[in-house]
A and B are shown apart, each in its own frame.
Chain A
Amino acid sequence: MRTNELISALVQDQAMRRWRLEGVLLCGLAIGGGMTALGFLAGLGLRPDLESAVMTLRVLLKLVVSLGLLVVCAGLTLRLARPGVPVGGWRWGAPALALLLAGAVAAELLATPPASWSARMMGQNALFCLALIPALAAGPLACLLLALRQGAPIRPGLSGALAGLAAGGMGAAFYALHCIDDSPLFLVVWYGLGIGFVALLGAVLGRYWLRW
């Protein structure tokens, strides 16, 4: 086929998506978030002492880090879904979160006796957390990947991984409303593993599903 013949065919296909990518992605996030909220309320529910707990620094940190991860990674995926658009200020999101976490871990280590560190890290419901964060993140991950298919991610694996991190952040934010293990040590290890698993899944799915 000659190139000008291809162009003749292309110009006759007038179908074009009219939704802005931002809208599609936000819609995916909202639907995914709804799925997570439903699953959370049906299966888990809020921790009984949430009202007082949410004012403590440790619980606040869990929420801030999870929601921060959600926002930063959703922003990054949006940038990466448009070819040729620079990442811009979003690139500082991940280091900022890492810095915040490192500071929190350091503070925890300084504030608590070394003998208690291992108990704080292991918490009470580690395996529960490990299983539930990915379960809560599954809906948002599927919705985000579906939304990203409308874009043109130049690096499908990376975009999939970031979608996984955003979905993991969403799952973790909800799970944090239930979870009673509040130490930053627990957060880094078990939330980290749970979210990391979702990111890995997103990367694998993205490599195949986000090609265009």
Chain B
Amino acid sequence: MGEINLARVDDRLIHGQVMTKWSRGLNTNAIFVVDNPTAKDPFMKEVYIMSTASSGMTIKVFSTDEVVEYWNKTKFENYRAILLFKNIDTVNEVVEKGLPITRLNIGGIAKTKEAKFVIPSVGLKPSDAEILKSLASKGIEVFFQTVPDTKAVTLQDALKNF
């Protein structure tokens, strides 16, 4: 049976921070991107796969329904995976559909007008803060951190801004 080492929200999906920092140290052997637009974009999939070829990790790109089905059918085989999401809505969707996420790292969300910075790489909208509260109430540990070497902010502290 496989396991989910970490779920991360990062609107850049696979990039330097993920490959050089998060994937090391957690004994990770796979990165699963969960994003409906990317799953429908063969060229973007190709870019991710050719960019990570020398990493020794397995890279897969799923739609939300595909990743839930893959978990239900295979329990992720023998993969110790990092799950990457572009936004918090998508995490909520797969949690509601039964994916057993226990730790959720919010690592990168470009700031929009109504958002507030929680850490320099994350702008959080009030609506996203509400979703995170609801995820936390289901027992998911939510924390904000760009890379493992930087300071982590708990959801409780982040919500003080709202």
Q: Judge: A and B partners, yes or no.
A: no
Binding site for A on B (CB under 8 A): none
Which residues of A line the B interface, CB within 8 A?
none
